Structure 1
Amino acid sequence: MRKRIKRHYRIARYVFYRETILEPIDHLWTFVGTFIAIASIGLLQQAGFTQQDSIFLIGSFGASCVLLFGATNSPLAQPRNLIGGHLLASLIGVAIHKLIPDQVWLASALAVSLSIVCMQITKTMHPPAGATALIANIGSEKIKNLGFGYTLTPVMTGVAILFVTALIINNIPSGRSYGVRSLARLKIAVKRRKGLNSLSSDKT
């Protein structure tokens, strides 16, 4: 038991250590990426969506920026998680609100808990998406009145801006990479599959 605790402690310490190894230039890229992402969403809202009562800048986008630009290598920040997590959470959040419109406490609890379970099942865990599901139930009346339009605007439109910004900014400095690891894994999987196919053909 003690060995297991010590092992988990060493792993946790190593992960924490790796996450906090930052060069001073990393702080600049974190600032630049976050500023551009949030400013772009805000400007888009100001330019064409002012009549929608400032719904474009939902709180979960700020939390997503923490992962995308502050913990770029985290599995929870990867494109699949960012896009899939917010998509699932927004759909579930709206669906629950439509089913239980008058019980905010119950709708909120169901929306968040179901979103987390669905993200676990689909391997799209993205913590800020929990807030996306919650906002669908506790947001302003204008947000609630959007219905499933909430998924398109502001959620997926904002997510697209976050994703493109992260893809550009995080791949400029040599010490960062975003989305690249996913492509590398895909290439490795394809090579392995080809290798297995060639082995099976040789056996036959």
Structure 2
Amino acid sequence: MGGTLGIGAVGSIALLVGTPLLIAPLGSTCMMIFGAPHAPFAHPRNVLGGHTICTVVGLLGVRVLGNAPWTIAAAVGLAMALMGLTRSFHPPAGGDTVLVMLAQPGWLFLFVPVLLGCVILLGIAMAFHNAHSAGSYPVSSVPTRREVIAAEE
């Protein structure tokens, strides 16, 4: 139900404002924040940080290195390293790097659809999860490095 509401809201807002907001990585983010909201990768910090890092790396990468398969691979690796260093790892965001390097959008892409889509999904997730008596999203703590490694295993 939450995933339907989340993607439905993003799609509806996109129609209202006349701007495409639905991108594949947001579908994966939706799966994570509604299907496993207490997982470290589903924390809002990780969602926003991961999508920001991966999109910026893609935008810089395509402008500096082009979009050959090896440059896309290098950019994804760099984005993963930066998410790890900043403790903002969010696996669905890796798709942003690939998408950006293939489509070569402008810098506005970071804000619309990426960050706007994330904010909409996170707002719906907070309302949805907290509407349940036992629900609580986001969880109160930022994941430790140990939690991130454990979630990866």
**TM-score category, normalised to shorter length:** 0.7 to 0.9
Distance in 2 separating the partners of 1:161 and 1:167: 10
Q: Residues 94-133 of structure 1: matches in 2 within 5 Å?
A: 94-101=59-66, 103-133=67-97
Asked if residue 168 in structure 1 is aligned to residue 127 in structure 2, the reply is yes
Contact in 2 for aligned 1:72/1:176 (Cα 8 Å): no
Alignment-derived partner of residue 80 in structure 1: 45
Per-residue CA distance 1:96-155 (angstroms, 9 max, x = gap): 011122x4302311221111100000000100010111110123xxxx2x3211111110
Partner secondary structure for residue 141 of structure 2: helix
- Segments of structure 1 that go 5 or more residues without pairing to the other structure are 1-30, 184-204
Distance in 1 separating the partners of 2:141 and 2:94: 23
Q: Residues 2-151 of structure 1: matches in 2 within 5 Å?
A: 31=1, 33-49=2-18, 54=20, 56-101=21-66, 103-139=67-103, 144=104, 146-151=105-110
Alignment-derived partner of residue 149 in structure 2: none
Contact in 1 for aligned 2:50/2:88 (Cα 8 Å): yes
Q: Greater relative contact order: 1 or 2 (C-alpha under 8 angstroms, separation 6 or more)?
A: 2
Q: Please tell me whether Structure 1 or Structure 2 has the larger radius of gyration of its CA atoms.
A: 1
- Segments of structure 2 that go 5 or more residues without pairing to the other structure are 143-153
Alignment-derived partner of residue 198 in structure 1: none
Per-residue CA distance 1:157-197 (angstroms, 9 max, x = gap): 101101111111111112321124238xxxxxxxxxxxxxx
Partner secondary structure for residue 29 of structure 2: helix
Contact in 1 for aligned 2:65/2:71 (Cα 8 Å): yes
Higher helix share: 1
Number of positions where the alignment pairs a residue of Structure 1 with one of Structure 2: 142
The ranges of structure 1 where at least 4 consecutive aligned residues each deviate by more than 4 angstroms after the TM superposition are none
Contact in 2 for aligned 1:79/1:163 (Cα 8 Å): yes
Distance in 2 separating the partners of 1:34 and 1:62: 8
Identity of aligned pairs, percent? 31
Alignment-derived partner of residue 202 in structure 1: none
Which AA in structure 2 matches 1:42? G
- Provide the alpha-carbon RMSD of the alignment: 1.6
Q: TM-score, normalised by structure 2?
A: 0.86
Distance in 2 separating the partners of 1:179 and 1:60: 20
